[in-house]
A and B are shown apart, each in its own frame.
Chain A
Amino acid sequence: MTAVDGRDIWTDAMSPVLSLRQVSKVYGSGATAVPALREADLVVDAGELVAIMGPSGSGKSTLLTIAGTIEEPTSGEVYVCGADVAALSADAQARLRRRSIGFVFQDLNLLAGLSAAENVALPLELDGVRARVARVAAMRLLDELGLADRAGYFPDDLSGGERQRVAIARAVIGERRLLLADEPTGALDSTNGEAVIRLLRSACRRGVAGVLVTHDAQLASWADRVVFIRDGRIVDQTGPATGPEALLAQDVI
């Protein structure tokens, strides 16, 4: 799974983009140990959008931060874009995060000193893309999310929902391989929520692998697969998609 044979791990299209094997996470130790995640197995392929649903405290964010290589698991293995994360140096992990993973987290961490458009363009500029080009890409995304007229605003001057959309735009900009979103529509009304999920959905159509954590069943229903987590354990998931004909067969008066 690693790049031992010299293949470029970034373009290793054969392996899943994300693979968690028997991943557990215990916070603290001894009497105060909190088992937040227990033997989780999860594979997400390129082009697939997977939603994680579960009650508060069930381990959803924990799973996502481990998938994003921000937290280390207590046990188990994590592969991102074919690379065994535990085997990578800290530098290589940081590079993997920056180049291949887009994040939308519960605390959005936008940079207060940068405008909305600058926040969105930043990941591209860090990748060495010319500022003008990055700026155009950022404006296109902000426009798609109905924020064209807020591009010059600073995060503090935006509403909660607007900040959330800026954070989404920043996560999907550029050619990420893996998108991780934690309650990305929490502060949004249903119209804006739908714009956001359509954006994530279309990124996945283009071959990005997406993991979406949410309480919201409507949001989750945009995913190809919904995984249910309870007390740190993956307990169930939805079956393979059936066509909309199934609705007609069962739902008639």
Chain B
Amino acid sequence: MSVRHALLALLTEGSKYGLQLRQEFEARTGEVWPLNVGQVYTTLQRLEREGHVESHENERDGAQKRFRITAAGERELDRWLRTPPSAAPPPRDELVIKVQVALRLPGVDVRDILQVHRRHLVEEMQRYTHLKAEAAADDVGLGLVVDAELFRLEAVVHWLDAADVRLRRLPAVPPVPAGADGTRRAPRHQPAKPAPARTAGSRS
């Protein structure tokens, strides 16, 4: 989330104080993305250095500065709106690493690890959905932010489900790779049932 451009956008409505910008930013993102005061002021300072905003001290307000967007700032905002967002994934997805590690650890049921994460994700989704359910129907700002988080979390749940299916296809005892130490590894996961449910010889 580009705080810089969000602040520029708020300033297109007219000049504003720093604290006011913070309040309006939070209100329009349904308070899902809180912003601290320091972050607001350092961002404004940077925008001012770049010539995208200018400030003027209001005699009557004493210390409080008002900020105003410049023509250069408006051009920058327009450029940003049209620039594709960075699609680069996080350098190493921590969850993928956890599951990779679980696969290699003896005595760990990977599907249980997947389930623990699935539950955490769904619980987090429940909290976001609760926000959405309680919000006023016309609170578009909140709806947009919450949906973005929900779709992101849902994608991770999908990945866990796909991983689950992959693991089901694994033989219970995987071929032992030629490890440097030559020790035999434990089964990667314990299937929850002895054989596919429909085949003869499964539990009766």
**Whole-angstrom distance between the alpha carbons of A241 and B154 in the complex?**
19
Interface size class of B (residues with CB under 8 A): 35 or more
| In the complex with contacts A235-B115, A247-B32, A201-B133 CB distance below 8 A | yes
Looking across the interface, which residue of chain A has its beta carbon closest to that of B123?
A238
A-B CB contacts (within 8 Å), total count: 97
**CB of A14 closer than 8 Å to a CB of B:** no
CB distance from A184 to the nearest CB of B (A): 16
Q: Mark A92-118, 1 if CB is under 8 A from B, else 0.
A: 000000000000000000000000000
A residues near B197, Cβ cutoff 8 Å: 34-36, 57, 231-232
Which residues of A (199-220) have their CB < 8 Å from a CB of B?
Answer: 201, 215-218, 220
From B123, B127, B165, contact of A55 by CB (8 A): B165
Q: Given that A217-B121, A217-B157, A236-B115 are contacting pairs, would A33 and B127 also be in contact in the complex, using a CB cutoff of 8 Å?
A: no
- Complex interface: chain B residues within 8 A of A32 (CB): 198, 200
Shortest Cβ gap from B204 to chain A (Å): 5
Q: Are B126 and A238 in contact (CB under 8 A)?
A: yes
| CB-CB under 8 A for A33 and B129, given A55-B161, A238-B123 | no
What is the interface of chain A mostly: helix, strand, loop, or mixed?
mixed
Whether a CB of chain B sits under 8 angstroms from the CB of A10 is: no
Q: Hey, what's the 0/1 contact readout for A17-35 against B, CB within 8 Å counting as 1? A: 0000000000001111111
- Rounded to whole Å, the gap between the CB of A146 and the closest CB of chain B is 14
A166 interfacial contact with B, CB 8 Å: no
Q: Contacts A226-B119, A247-B128 known; list 6 others, CB within 8 Å.
A: A35-B202, A217-B157, A217-B158, A221-B128, A230-B111, A241-B130
